[in-house]
Structure 1
Amino acid sequence: MSKTEWRLLQPGDWLTAALGATLVALLAWLAWNTDAATHVRIYQSGKLFAELDLMAHRTMQVPGPLGDTTVEIAQGRARIAADPSPRQYCVKAGWLTETGQTAICLPNRTSIELTGSRARAYDSLSY
């Protein structure tokens, strides 16, 4: 038996593995590369309430069935600062900074979504 017969990987195998790793890295980069968020959309009861620039420092009150939800925008990020909902999940979401991030206050039917310059790659999300 010669040395070459018992090798597990041949030179072509190394090339295939390197090309595969390069392809995986490229696809991961494309999948996770998003554009910068530029606007925040505020929805009330499923309807667009306001769309604001993320660079403006602003606090807005959004009326809902349970009371007012406070949306704060500052330094390229947005958050729901206060909400009358009992569990406060949307407030606990904290500052949103990336395109596509959302905070939803279901009992008060209020939500915010960050958008960028590119259109969304999907129409809706479901769980």
Structure 2
Amino acid sequence: MSKTEWQLLRPGDWFTVALGAALVVLFAWFAWNTDAATHVRVYQSGKLFAELDLASDRTLQVPGPLGATTVEVARGRARIAADPSPRQYCVKAGWLTETGQTAICLPNRTSIELTGSKARAYDSLSY
């Protein structure tokens, strides 16, 4: 915009621009402000197999149709360390650290989901 075009903006226009920018910042803060993950839920065939505290380090073997899936919890994060599935997508997901993150091994029907102190707004797991 040239200098003369900027001069066409009235005070109400500047207010609208400022309000829009403030709303963008506010919505971005709400979108990225999540509570800390405190537990990991381990599902087998769509049913809750175990719920582990992220504060304690441990390894869990989850039996599945293809073999055992290894779930590892260490230093406030969780991952699927090993799985007999052919493509290893759930293993490649790596360490999960944020509430709501999931790793799903479909061929072996095993999944993990991180949960926090707040109730989740939606169901993120579907088979």
Q: Same fold (TM over 0.5)?
A: yes
Residue 32 of structure 1: how far off its partner (Å): 2.1
Going from structure 1 to structure 2, the CA distance change for 1:69 and 1:75 (only over 3 Å counts) comes to: same
Write the mapping of 1:83-122 to structure 2, written as runs, cut at 5 A: 83-122=83-122
Residue 124 of structure 1: how far off its partner (Å): 4.0
Q: Which residue of 2 aligns with 1:20?
A: 20
Distance 1:26 1:101 in 2: 23
- Describe the SS at the equivalent of 2:37: coil
Distance 2:55 2:75 in 1: 6
Distance 1:49 1:16 in 2: 52
Deviates more, 1:20-29 or 1:82-91: 20-29
Q: Deviations over 1:31-57 (max 9, x none)?
A: 221100000000000000000100100
Are the aligned partners of 2:43 and 2:50 in contact in 1 as well (CA < 8 Å)?
A: yes
Residue 110 of structure 1: how far off its partner (Å): 0.3
Unaligned runs of 5+ in 2: none
Q: Which residue of 2 aligns with 1:50?
A: 50
Q: Which residue of 1 aligns with 2:62?
A: 62
* Number of residue-to-residue matches in the alignment: 123
Deviates more, 1:10-19 or 1:110-119: 10-19
Distance 1:70 1:20 in 2: 48
Deviates more, 1:15-24 or 1:93-102: 15-24
- Describe the SS at the equivalent of 2:95: coil
Distance 2:48 2:92 in 1: 23
- Describe the SS at the equivalent of 1:12: helix
Q: What stretches of structure 1 move > 4 A for 4+ residues in a row?
A: none
Unaligned runs of 5+ in 1: none
Distance 1:125 1:41 in 2: 11
TM-score normalised by structure 2 residue count: 0.91
Q: Which residue of 1 aligns with 2:71?
A: 71
Larger radius of gyration: 1
Deviates more, 1:12-21 or 1:93-102: 12-21
Are the aligned partners of 2:100 and 2:124 in contact in 1 as well (CA < 8 Å)?
A: no
Are the aligned partners of 2:101 and 2:113 in contact in 1 as well (CA < 8 Å)?
A: yes
